[in-house]
A and B are shown apart, each in its own frame.
Chain A
Amino acid sequence: ILNVEQSPQSLHVQEGDSTNFTCSFPSSNFYALHWYRWETAKSPEALFVMTLNGDEKKKGRISATLNTKEGYSYLYIKGSQPEDSATYLCALGAGNNRKLIWGLGTSLAVNP
């Protein structure tokens, strides 16, 4: 059974701090690694989809890296703002089916 693990489970930072979270996954049958941002009372919103080992993606102050050989991805937020408060989910696409295997998320709270 494939399992996607995220750490830490939750994180509290001060406005202006930079932070990062980890997504760990089994590297066999890797197809894609997704990151989503999920604000309270809203629906998940895609941030990045990465497919190649060594991939780096960036959107504003948020960036992500991927290591498919060792089975991990990092999400970085530079200069956190209160509006970054959300749960950040990663999900693994493995094999050739179209299902994703979801982690439980890292809940980020940014204090002003």
Chain B
Amino acid sequence: NAGVTQTPKFQVLKTGQSMTLQCAQDMNHNSMYWYRQDPGMGLRLIYYSASEGTTDKGEVPNGYNVSRLNKREFSLRLESAAPSQTSVYFCASNGRGPPGPQHFGDGTRLSIL
């Protein structure tokens, strides 16, 4: 059982390039999340999707777009990467019903030069 799978694990981009971070979960969870983690800032929510077909902004959505492609997959796109988007990105999911724990992927370490 893979849980939450993120790809790629590492990426280096030049300023202005675009890329999509992929996330898939095999736990039949309804809700999925994208976070970024920066030193001294903790986990900050970029976007989330409460269920298939819906997406909502989190704390720091500027410069990002998301797609909830189906129940399993939730992708994060940087249209024109900026050095300020250098970070570690985590995808997470949790199921419906009682407030269950969030399950995290291994993270994507993204550097923008």
Residues of A within 8 A of B (CB): 31-32, 34, 36, 42-46, 49, 51, 89, 93, 97-100, 102-105
| Nearest CB on A from B30, distance (A) | 8
Residues of chain B whose beta carbon lies under 8 Å from any beta carbon of chain A: 31, 33, 40-45, 48, 50, 58, 90, 94, 98-107
**B99 touching A43 by the CB < 8 A rule?**
no
CB distance from B91 to the nearest CB of A (A): 9
Q: Is there contact, CB below 8 Å, between B48 and A42? A: no
Bound CA–CA A99/B49 (angstroms): 10
Contact between B99 and A32 (Cβ–Cβ < 8 Å)? yes
Residues on the A chain within 8 Å of B105, using CB: 43
- What total of A-B pairs shows CB separation below 8 Å? 49
CA distance A77 to B111 in the complex (A): 36
From B50, B94, B98, contact of A97 by CB (8 A): B50
3 nearest interchain CB pairs? A46-B101, A32-B99, A43-B104
Q: With the chains together, A48 CA to B21 CA distance in Å?
A: 29
A-B contact pairs, 24 of them (CB 8 A): A34-B102, A36-B101, A43-B90, A43-B105, A43-B106, A44-B102, A44-B104, A45-B104, A46-B101, A46-B102, A49-B98, A49-B99, A49-B100, A49-B101, A51-B99, A89-B42, A89-B43, A98-B31, A98-B94, A99-B33, A102-B42, A103-B42, A104-B41, A105-B42
- Shortest Cβ distance from A102 into B: residue: B43
Known: A43-B105, A43-B107, A89-B43. A99 touches B58 (CB 8 A): yes
Instruction: Give the distance to chain A from B55, nearest Cβ to Cβ, in Å.
Output: 12
Q: Which B residue's beta carbon lies closest to that of A6?
A: B42
Cβ–Cβ contact A100 & B102, under 8 A: yes
Give the shortest distance, in Å, between A58 (CB) and chain B (any CB).
16
